[in-house]
């Protein structure tokens, strides 16, 4: 694939200025020259997509540069694909901007201003204008709307949300670190064998849903235990 800088920017969903900025910071290898025209290929596109993946995780430009310094500029496409596969399971979902009508349709019922206030307190939505909101967590929208409709004090809902957020964030960080220490690091130190790279790519795609199911099941058991202890007391 041979792309001009304009074509590369369009493929990656960024501006030409952004491509040149990244190239100037050493995040992209130099283009191949045909006369005075710079041509970009699959490796440039893959590296740009990796940068966007890192940005979606909330990394600063300095952190992204530090991460990419460990990936040679002439790294094969397979290595860049592995990097994205290892990062994707941990990438947060993307917010969505919806009008009130679409928000009601997603939830399956009309949400009045009081319900929106409760959802905002839970960190699921934030107002943009009088008739539009940003849904921070589209995946949590349905279940959060059901929670917000419960006849519970708002303080109870907020405290519950904060407890779940605090513990799940710590758990995700610990599990990710375990995976890096026991799987990714041995792969790197072992010479990055192609067969191991393919195995890691497949493993990364399967890991997240299995971990989520495991966490949900374990949490359900823990809730049952807490209820039994409370009943005995």
**Quick one: 78 and 103 in the same domain?**
no
The reply to whether 108 and 80 lie within a common domain is no
149: phi then psi, degrees, rounded to nearest 5:
-80, -10
Cross-strand bridge partners of residue 34: 37
Kindly report, residue by residue over 72-109, the tens digit of the pLDDT.
777 777 777 777 666 655 555 678 899 999 999 988 88
Number of independent structural domains in the chain: 3
Q: What is the pLDDT of residue 88?
A: 58
What is the pTM assigned to this prediction? 0.53
pLDDT number for residue 182:
87
Do 62 and 81 fall within a single domain? yes
Listed residues 90, 105, 135: the one ending a domain: 90
Question: Do both 74 and 103 map to the same domain?
Answer: no
Structure confidence at residue 161 (pLDDT) = 84
Domain of residue 189 covers 164-232
Residue 71 per-residue DSSP state = S
* Pair 12, 84 in one domain: yes
Instruction: Please spell the DSSP secondary structure of 4-53, one letter per residue.
Output: -HHHHHHHHTS-HHHHHHHHHTTSSPPPEEETTEEEB-HHHHHHHHHHHH
Q: Are residues 77 and 133 in the same domain?
A: no
Q: What percent of the chain has pLDDT over 90?
A: 18
Same domain, 41 and 67: yes
Say yes or no: 86 and 101 in one domain: no
């Amino acid at each position: 694939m041979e792309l001009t800088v304009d074509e590369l920017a369009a493929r990656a969903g960024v501006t030409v200025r952004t491509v040149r900025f990244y190239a100037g910071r050493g995040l992209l290898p130099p283009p191949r020259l045909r006369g005075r025209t710079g041509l970009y290929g699959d490796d440039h596109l893959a590296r740009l997509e990796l940068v966007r993946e890192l940005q979606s995780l909330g990394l600063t430009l300095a952190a992204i540069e530090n991460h990419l310094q460990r990936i040679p500029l002439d790294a094969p496409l397979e290595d860049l694909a592995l990097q994205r596969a290892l990062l994707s399971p941990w990438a947060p979902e993307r917010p969505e901007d919806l009008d009130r009508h679409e928000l009601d349709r997603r939830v399956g019922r009309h949400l009045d201003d009081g319900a929106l206030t409760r959802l905002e307190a839970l960190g699921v939505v934030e107002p943009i204008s009088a008739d539009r909101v940003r849904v921070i967590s589209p995946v949590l929208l349905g279940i959060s709307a059901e929670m917000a409709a419960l006849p519970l004090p708002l303080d109870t809902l907020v405290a519950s949300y904060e407890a779940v957020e605090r513990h799940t964030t710590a758990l995700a960080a610990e599990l990710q670190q375990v995976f890096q220490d026991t799987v990714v690091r041995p792969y790197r130190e072992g010479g990055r064998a192609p067969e191991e790279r393919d195995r890691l790519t497949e493993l990364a795609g399967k890991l997240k849903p299995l971990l989520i199911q495991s966490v949900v099941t374990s949490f359900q058991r823990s809730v049952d235990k807490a209820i039994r202890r409370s009943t005995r007391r």
